[in-house]
Amino acid sequence: MTLPNELKAATLAAQAGGVIDLPSGGVTPPIQPSTTFVRDEDYALVNPDNIYSRDNSDIVRITENVLARLEGAEEALLFPSGMAAIAALFRTLPNGASIVVQSGIYWGTTKWLRDFSARRNMTLHEVEASDPAALAKACSDHTPGIVFIETPSNPWLKTVDIAHAARCAHDAGALLAVDSTAATPVLQKPLELGADIVMHSATKGINGHSDVLAGVLATSAPAAQAWIDIKADRHDAGAVLGPFEAWLLLRGMRTLPLRVERMSANALKIATWLKAHPKVADVYYPGLESHPGHEVATAQMQGGFGCLLSFLVEGGAPEALTVVGKLKLFHRATSLGSVESLVEHRHTIEPHTGIPESLIRVSVGIEDADDLIADLAQALD
């Protein structure tokens, strides 16, 4: 079944892109676990689209198509994790290339880029990309092959003007890649703002149920050489997603707009409450008017500001850990974007990255916001 192009995200996601199982009439797309596909007596493929499952999987293609349509992209590629997607992107650069990357983003990305750049004799320039002038200067001075930003960033919730970043990158002859994980395709469309490639850790909000590892890259320029190289790298290196994981991911995506709407509303209510609490020193959430990136976030995020927020408690590590330890509804676990609320003391996880000892990162779920606020209140008090 083909769905019209003008459908809203909620309809497109709920309908799984219009795919049903025609042989059975089932409204849920089927899983085909086979890794290889048969040929007939004349050695012709029974299904010309399927030879071997590294690149050939019906459910993976279905899921990629839905992701591309949600993102406003021409094409999307699934990977077994967000970091696998990032690795495929940067492996398109030659040895000795220059890279400009936003500072203070997800530590896993920063660490991998530092190690990868050292191995490949690349020059990595980390810049405060939420400062437009600093980003422009870095792109002009260093002529990078790729400019990589993350907005909103994790865990600082800094926002970067994507359209400005695209102009800076393109003026320098670079590609702009945007990690839009915290926003999901529901709230932010980097490609429409000039980005060349958008990346998500689909493990997070896109799946939304803490049961799938996956990553995705999407582009509006599938004929570009960089995208051709990414596709070749995924095939040759075997960084592919299995059919069961793709099926789970598609199932999670069917409620993506609904979940994101609820989580964003909850997060804004909680951030507003935390901002007024006497034992909270500061709150980082782009939905707050006091946030330095609020104006940029309001301009480029539609329908909410996401589920992720961080706050500083008065005191240091002992006070923060006491609060985290007293929470009853927030699971003390690493991740974000799922239906259940999660809390993390980031300094315990990353003591060497400059994270304040008093910082608590929260991923707000779909629970009742008043219940979550009551839990925070008893923990802070």
Which uninterrupted H or E stretch holds 165? helix 162-171
Give the Å distances, CA to CA, from 231 to 190, 200, 235, 240. 20, 16, 6, 10
Q: Which positions ≥6 away from 22 have C-beta within 8 Å?
A: none
Selecting among 106, 254, 284, 375, the annotated active-site residue is 106
Please, what's the b/e burial string for 155-181 (b: 16 or more CB within 10 A of its CB; e: otherwise)?
A: bbbbbbbbbbbbbbbeebebbbbbbbb
55 among known catalytic residues: no
Nearest Cα residue to 183 out of 264, 105, 272, 73: 264
| Residues 252, 244: Cα–Cα separation, whole Å | 12
CA 340 to chain centre: 17
- Active-site residue flag, 91: no
Taking the C-alpha atoms of residue 155 and residue 159, their distance in angstroms, rounded to an integer, is 11
Count CB neighbours of 275 within 10 A. 16
Cis status of the peptide bond prior to 152, with omega within 30 of 0: yes
C-alpha dihedral sign at 18, 21, 22, 26: negative
Task: Tell me the torsion sign for CA atoms 317, 323, 326, 332.
Answer: negative
Token pair belonging to 307: 């589920």
Catalytic, 179? Answer yes
**CA 220 – CA 197 distance, rounded (Å):** 8
Catalytic residue among 69, 158, 189, 204: 204
Q: Is 275 a known active-site residue?
A: no
Record the tokens describing residue 102, joined without a space. Answer: 């936003």
Beta bridge partners of 342: 331, 363
Nearest to 264 by CA among 157, 364, 160: 364
What is the distance between the alpha carbons of residues 311 and 78, in angstroms, rounded to a whole number?
33
Of the residues 58, 69, 161, 179, which is catalytic? 179
Q: Which residue has the tokens 């970043």?
A: 165
Active-site annotation, residues: 54, 106, 179, 204
